[in-house]
Structure 1
């Protein structure tokens, strides 16, 4: 069938809206009519070849829509179901068997290769191959093919156009707090960088009962938003010493620090803001050769920890519906992060995300 998709054809260049052909779903695949898609900084990084995905390619990995058709063997969803599309995984490695698909041993092949596992792609423009299957979906399009493993059925009494970002950026920040850290009431956290991921972590920390939530950024508007969403303290890193401010707020440092920027000096600051036995999680998309310099004695002698976090240690089939229920109860107001754009303004949405004008853009198809 014919679809319209935003195609990345050159590094750092605007996406082009094009008419493409998409295949019917194969065994285990699901054709989704995309209602809306969130824009994540990972999409921008892949457009700019921070990680060399093949081009031309249709990006997009926070899609929400309605199932139109299913391939043989699909039992999780049926035509007409409302779904969000999350990251893909192999289903057969040790991590997947142990219900940790976010650490799938073949994560990069299933999410960044731009082709199915057999090397094929579902998109064409006449005789030209267009790479697809980005995060198992390529949802910068009016229709997307996803897989049974990375589709999440959601209730149909919440606005579907809002839900796509739950499948990546928002579950990454919230999941880091709730799943990775398992933050308990009375504990403390510092969040470095309060874009959509960091603000999701702030909201989750409030839900989990943190008594001190410190938000650190250089964007005054985002710091003000962080306060409305649950931050007890904010630090403008342009004018304040973040470590001194955190120590003043906590006395000994925080139980947890979450670093979302992937900037090495900020990662070091996050670690140095920890209390004894504290844990720092890093989840920003860095370049492949990014290195971190740490003070080994500071880390070792007080039992501090540093760990990487992918997708908030979330199993999307479980965690996304939980976030939706928290939203319905008014306890996780992620809609306050969102700005909507029509699909034909996708490049404006990307620009506004890059420049910090908006927190979480969503394009409506």
Structure 2
């Protein structure tokens, strides 16, 4: 017999999130874990599924991929966690392809299939309606639900003393931003970096860049209060690109250009600005989920002759079970104040929370799905 849960369902492109009662599969495969969701961050990627920027998605579906909760049940082959463990959820990966075996699960050959197509590795989804309609999953996680079923690879165990309402976003937005710095760009001490977009990914990158010892930390946005937040947590310079030419200003600040640039907006002209802000030998990482184009018109003149690099980075090239505990250590040491960027909402406020994220009013909305939870 299936268990009934509450979930926020996307039924169509550009539709609102609709709270529905769904059935959750009653039996677990050997590697599956049933998790009671306490809270979940809202990420731009959830919005990208809702509005189509993230590519084709088989509606109806339950998205959400910054979940934190408590393990209720485990399959017979699970070794990563036990009943009662407190966990943060992240992306899925197969664990056996060449990239996974090389320690790069974010570059898993089957990453898209496991995370973006609405089914788990067995081609199934744990959610259904009473009439038998399948409701698809997302990131093999679907954290916009009171309970969900994931693979043990989705799970990172954390201490019982950690407030689960505050750490779910470490599973995507903040690990993407920080990992882009820690794992992909690996900036040298004393170097200069610019970050376009001061949402959760951008500010995660900023906090990581400060930890790694970048000397010049520039943030670019069009929302003043977000720029002021960036300054409070480590930016040495802020630029409102509505008011001045960011490339000109960046080159003025750095006497020629930055060593590293990150774009979190996915907007074509902004990605071009980020690339143009590089000094010779600089590296650019465009990390937004977007269908907009980024073009290099003259590869030799604009790329080769200046020895610039453009690096594709997914999920910060992070190994969740390694990177998430590291971020928690930085957070506990007050070096990664991600919780200061969060605002709590109840589950039935999900559309308001998503709208506040899209408008830039709130940097990281967090849905408190279990309002009875106490850390």
TM-score norm. by structure 1 comes to: 0.97
SS of the aligned residue for 2:206 comes to: helix
1:134 equivalenced with 2:141 (yes/no)? no
Aligned to 1:306: 310
Match of 1:80 among 69, 78, 84: 84
Deviations 1:45-101 (A, max 9, x none): 111222111011011111000000001100110011010110111112111111111
Shift of 1:157: 1.7
Match of 1:200 among 204, 214, 236: 204
Contact 1:55/1:130, CA 8 A, preserved across alignment: no
1:276 equivalenced with 2:280 (yes/no)? yes
Aligned to 2:46: 43
Task: Give the count of matched residue pairs.
Answer: 364
Partner Cα distance (1:274, 1:240) in 2: 18
Deviations 1:268-304 (A, max 9, x none): 11111111111000100111x7342444212111211
Match of 2:99 among 75, 95, 113: 95
1:30 equivalenced with 2:36 (yes/no)? no
Partner Cα distance (2:296, 2:255) in 1: 25
Contact 2:127/2:137, CA 8 A, preserved across alignment: no
Unaligned runs of at least 5 residues, structure 1: none
Contact 2:190/2:213, CA 8 A, preserved across alignment: yes
Residues 1-365 of structure 1: pairs in structure 2 closer than 5 A: 1-23=3-25, 24-50=27-53, 51-287=55-291, 290-296=293-299, 297-365=301-369
SS of the aligned residue for 1:128 comes to: coil
Shift of 1:126: 0.5
Runs of 4+ in structure 1 over 4 Å off: none
Partner Cα distance (1:295, 1:200) in 2: 32
Aligned to 2:373: none
Partner Cα distance (1:305, 1:293) in 2: 11
Contact 1:268/1:294, CA 8 A, preserved across alignment: no
Deviations 1:146-190 (A, max 9, x none): 111111111222211111110111000011111111122201100
Given the superposition, is the C-alpha separation of residues 294 and 171 from structure 1 closer, same or farther in structure 2, using an over 3 Å criterion? farther
SS of the aligned residue for 2:256 comes to: coil
SS of the aligned residue for 2:311 comes to: strand
SS of the aligned residue for 1:191 comes to: strand
SS of the aligned residue for 1:66 comes to: strand
Given the superposition, is the C-alpha separation of residues 293 and 276 from structure 1 closer, same or farther in structure 2, using an over 3 Å criterion? closer
SS of the aligned residue for 1:172 comes to: helix
Partner Cα distance (1:132, 1:246) in 2: 44
Partner Cα distance (2:158, 2:121) in 1: 27
